[in-house]
Amino acid sequence: MKIALLGYGKMGKMIDSYAKKRKHRICFILDRDYEKGSLTEADVAINFSVPESAVSNIKLALENKIPVVCGTTGWLNRISEVEKFCIKNNSGFLYASNFSIGVNIFFKVNKYLAKLMSPETHGYKASIKEIHHAEKLDSPSGTAISLAEDIINSSVYEKWELGTQKNKSLKIESIRDGDNPGTHSVNYISKMDEISIKHNAYKRDGFALGAIIAAEWLVNKKGIFSMNDVLKI
């Protein structure tokens, strides 16, 4: 499989390494002021760029009929635009806020728990806490937003808010410190007790491997997909 890497920071370099271990070839690299290789040779593109470049990078691949796996967060206010562009160009697009297999299982556990812990029924208040390395640009993380949206869909909460907990808003606490690859916890607190679920990433390798697995799955497919399609969960 020939891969175009859109963004060549820490994650891009790690994906490059894992792709070669799985006998794939990087045929194109695009970074801020750097371009190497041939995009049109690619079977699939993987985008881990900065949020400001995400949409233009994705569209560049899609208009060349190259399906795109995207792990960049912080640009989702334009995701419907990208999905429409994908359909118009008869290509494939797969976005995930997190490509770790463990996190995608965590998403399922969170959805199920949210249905059980309805605050109007049991008196629990939900909150989310996420911790990432100091270099992460967006806050809160895309993973935290995904967790929040799934809770909101099964509760009386109407929206999430960063750092505050109002009557019908779900609080997300976001911390940037050190070199933490990613820790996410969902907490439910009542006057009687507390229930928590947590995912702690030890290193970024799981994200890179998951993105490559998604790319292998996406080759020659057309439409809009998620990691649920890849993992069949």
Active site residues: 132, 136
Distance CA 190, CA 210 (A): 36
Distance CA 142, CA 168 (A): 21
Distance CA 196, CA 187 (A): 4
Q: Counting Cβ atoms within 10 Å, is residue 216 exposed (0-12), middle (13-18) or buried (19+)? A: middle
Give the Cβ contact number of residue 222 at 10 Å.
15
Residues in the chain: 233
Phi-psi region of 16 (alpha: psi -120 to 50; beta: other; left: phi over 0): alpha
The two most distant CA atoms of the chain are separated, in Å, by: 61
Measure the CA dihedral 169/175/176/177, to 10°: 180
Distance CA 160, CA 68 (A): 29
C-alpha closest to that of 184 among 172, 193, 194: 172
C-alpha closest to that of 45 among 10, 70, 22: 70
